[in-house]
Amino acid sequence: MEPRALVVVDVQRGFVTPETEATVRRIADHIDGQRHRYEVVVATRFVNRPGSLYETERDWHQMMQGPDLELVPGLEDAPDTVVVKHGLAPDPEDLLPLLERLGVRRVELCGFDTDQCVLATALLLWDAGLAPQVLAELCSSSGGSDMHAAGLAITRRAIGDRNVTDTAGRPL
């Protein structure tokens, strides 16, 4: 089997809401039971910066410092590496060389928010020539189930129906 990576997107304390809370346990259970499938498990950590577009265009001043930036309890030790990002997707130079060095061509994605950062990360990987697979049941959106469903619909349109799956790899 070809080397795979799991990228866990922004599962941080500050992004846990009633809409995303149940997803945390599903991700932790998946990693516990399926760790052997992955050459590497990468977590992304979003850090907002002073003067960012989040501040200037959305008037959103959260996720700049403190415990909200930490990975959620139960997942803090799961990743082999953590990639800090300051926008919707990781900087390609922070993620792609790692995957290339390990020979990874297939990347499974999960985390928060399906309609924003998971989608943007899938598109980054797609544009880099890697095959992203979004594990739909391990994603959610702080915007609620409608935003999660919209994110999945856009992801299907962008990277293909067969790349939005359940954890067994079956298209949804």
Query: In angstroms, how far is the first alpha carbon of the chain from the final one?
Result: 23
Q: How much is the average pLDDT of 53-76?
A: 96
Give the pLDDT confidence of 113-150 residue by residue, as tens digits: 999 999 999 999 999 999 999 999 999 999 999 999 99
CA dist 16 and 68 (Å) reads: 9
Mean pLDDT, all residues of the chain: 97
The yes-or-no verdict on residue 1 having pLDDT over 90 is: no
Average pLDDT for residues 93-97, to the nearest whole number? 97
Comparison of pLDDT for 101 and 2, the residue scoring more: 101
Distance from C-alpha of 124 to C-alpha of 30, rounded to nearest angstrom: 24
Structure tokens at 68: 């909200």
| Overall average pLDDT of the 142-163 stretch | 97
Q: Is the pLDDT of residue 79 over 80?
A: yes
Q: pLDDT tens across 2-42, in order?
A: 899 999 999 999 999 999 999 999 999 999 999 999 999 99
Q: What is the pLDDT of residue 123?
A: 98
pLDDT surpasses 90 at 98: yes
Measured distance CA(113)–CA(117) in Å, rounded = 5
Q: How confident is the model at residue 107 (pLDDT cuts 50, 70, 90)?
A: very high
